């Protein structure tokens, strides 16, 4: 077990004022794998003031130089890839293979991409008689979740720092070890003091203090819609800019015109799209919409695909799905599965309880429901576990209506025989990103949501611009 007893403020490791600690649990065997400091508003104040003091010099630094720092951080993370991936697999339950590729590979890409954008971005342009310039917004408070911990940290920290901002990071207390490793990497490469600050603690204490602090110019938050609403409310007192990446209940429309082979491919691949990271993915395609006339065909494919999913130790190569991140999450997901049964959905695969062959760890049965209606809880609320709801539709208009019939709008998918037809449907889906005929994830494309899925975008040029203010100079 590792005991972290310091946090990173103003270029130094410092002991917090409180001796309170938070336990970090191993999702695979339910043991305590680490303890971290439970900081207070005092540490938030110190970190915010350090970030404020560092802002003028960091923002004035040539963008090429800022980019070089980001690139070196990426290299430092790459050197510790195996260590970081193993820690995140234990924290979140993601299989080790995917942790290396996603949980560490994508953050490395973010630091490298942020470096490239900073070095090549056009920070000014002439508009008539005016010179319009983009400048860093200031001190950015970053609050990140536990499901893709380092990936979400990089989405904020890399792009904010590359843009010339200084940051105060509060990582999730459920999966914080990668944040400590990132801070070690940043310390080793000699990033100027105060540009990056990392404090640990709970949302109600540290998150509230960050959102309220007068020296913080912007809050960037990823997590639940409920918590995001609170960040917005507190930030409004000081009129901060707020960027939010929140929940999702994303629809995957399988069109009626697919041939038998493509239909089977679309339906079976949809299981993986719902179950990625044991369903602990905000953009997971957790509602599959299939034509009523082909529902039985879909159910047969789904049953076979669901039963083929291997649940077990995330460090075993044969494992598809590991455990959930916490006991609370396991109990929450089982509660939703029971709710689905109680409300009359048909269980094709899984159900309440523990999968066969596991005795320890926060495991649940991967579950697929059919005969789901839009009024059911499992069709409306984000479950954040390996639960797929299959909803039958009458025609294309009905499918689009169902897809848009939630408070969320984060992601989506559509499969159709004709690509242009699929794109036309995708355009009508009120959501931030749509996979068309299985289109691959693009780590440099903008990511974010409509409606209660959030405000703003992350990654690429669009994510970079979130951290820039616009100034007009009339010449």
* Residue 323 CB contacts under 8 Å (≥ 6 apart), including other chains: 27, 28, 93, 278, 314, 330, 358, 361, 362, 363, 364
What distance in Å separates the CA atoms of residue 345 and residue 372, rounded to the nearest whole number? Answer: 5
The total of other beta-carbon atoms located within 10 Å of residue 421's CB is 15
Q: Closest Cα partner for 273 from 262, 288, 255, 263?
A: 288
Taking the C-alpha atoms of residue 412 and residue 288, their distance in angstroms, rounded to an integer, is 10
282 is catalytic: yes
Distance CA 168, CA 114 (A): 18
d(CA 233, CA 220): 13
> Torsion angle, CA of 306/310/314/318, rounded to 10 degrees?
-130
Token representation of residue 467: 């951290």
What's CA 410's distance to the chain center, in Å? 11
Catalytic residue among 39, 142, 165, 282: 282
Give the DSSP letter string of 211-241. Answer: HH-TT--EEEEES-HHHHHHHHHHHGGGT-E
From the list 245, 382, 458, 466, the catalytic residue is 245
**Residue 90 has which token pair?**
């234990």
Known active-site residue 255:
no
User: Which 3 state secondary structure label does DSSP give 411?
Assistant: coil
Encode burial over 47-71: b for 16+ CB neighbours within 10 A, e otherwise: bbbbbbbbbeebbeeebeebbebbb
- Inter-residue contact 259 to 224 (CB < 8 Å): no
By DSSP bridging, strand 454-455 and strand 408-409 are unpaired
Phi, psi of 469 (to 5 degrees): -90, 160
**Catalytic positions, written as ranges:** 245, 282
């Amino acid at each position: 077990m590792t005991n972290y007893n310091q946090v990173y403020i103003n270029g130094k490791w410092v002991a917090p004022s409180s001796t309170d600690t938070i336990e970090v649990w191993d999702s695979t065997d339910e043991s305590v794998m680490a303890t971290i400091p439970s900081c207070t508003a005092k540490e938030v104040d110190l970190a915010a003031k350090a970030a404020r003091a560092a802002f003028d010099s960091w923002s004035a630094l040539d963008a090429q130089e800022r980019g070089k720092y980001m690139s070196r951080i990426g290299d430092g993370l790459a050197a510790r890839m195996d260590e970081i991936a193993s820690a995140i697999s234990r924290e979140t339950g993601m299989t080790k293979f995917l942790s290396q590729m996603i949980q560490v590979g994508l953050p490395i890409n973010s630091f490298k991409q942020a470096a490239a954008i900073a070095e090549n971005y056009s920070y000014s342009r002439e508009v008539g008689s005016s010179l319009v310039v983009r400048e860093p917004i200031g001190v950015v408070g970053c609050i990140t979740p536990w499901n893709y911990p380092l990936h979400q940290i990089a989405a904020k920290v890399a792009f904010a720092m590359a843009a010339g901002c200084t940051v105060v990071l509060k990582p999730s207390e459920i999966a914080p070890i990668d944040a400590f490793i990132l801070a070690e990497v940043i310390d080793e490469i000699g990033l100027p003091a105060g540009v990056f600050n990392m404090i640990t603690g709970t949302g109600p204490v540290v998150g509230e203090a960050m959102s309220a602090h007068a020296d913080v110019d912007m809050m960037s938050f990823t997590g639940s819609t409920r918590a995001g609403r609170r960040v917005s409310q507190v930030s409004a007192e000081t009129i901060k800019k707020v960027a939010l990446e929140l929940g999702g209940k994303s629809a995957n429309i399988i069109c009626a015109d697919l041939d038998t082979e493509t239909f089977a491919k679309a339906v079976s691949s949809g299981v993986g799209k719902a179950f990625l990271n044991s369903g602990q993915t905000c953009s997971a395609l957790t509602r599959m919409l299939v034509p009523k006339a082909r529902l039985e065909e879909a159910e047969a494919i789904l049953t076979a695909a669901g039963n083929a999913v291997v649940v077990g130790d995330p460090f075993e190569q044969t494992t598809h799905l590991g455990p959930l991140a916490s006991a609370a999450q396991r109990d929450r997901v089982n509660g939703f599965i029971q709710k689905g049964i109680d409300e009359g959905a048909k269980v094709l695969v899984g159900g309440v309880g523990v999968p066969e062959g596991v005795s320890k760890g926060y495991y649940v049965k991967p579950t697929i429901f059919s005969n789901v209606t839009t009024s059911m809880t499992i069709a409306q609320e984000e479950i954040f576990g390996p639960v797929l709801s299959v909803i039958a539709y009458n025609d294309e208009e009905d499918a689009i209506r169902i897809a848009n019939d939630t408070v969320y709008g984060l992601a989506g998918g559509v499969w159709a025989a004709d690509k242009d037809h699929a794109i036309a449907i995708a355009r009508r889906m009120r959501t931030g990103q749509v996979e068309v005929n299985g289109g691959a994830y693009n780590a440099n494309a903008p990511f974010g949501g409509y409606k209660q899925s959030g405000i703003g975008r992350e990654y690429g040029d669009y994510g970079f611009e979130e951290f820039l203010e616009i100034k007009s100079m009339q010449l």
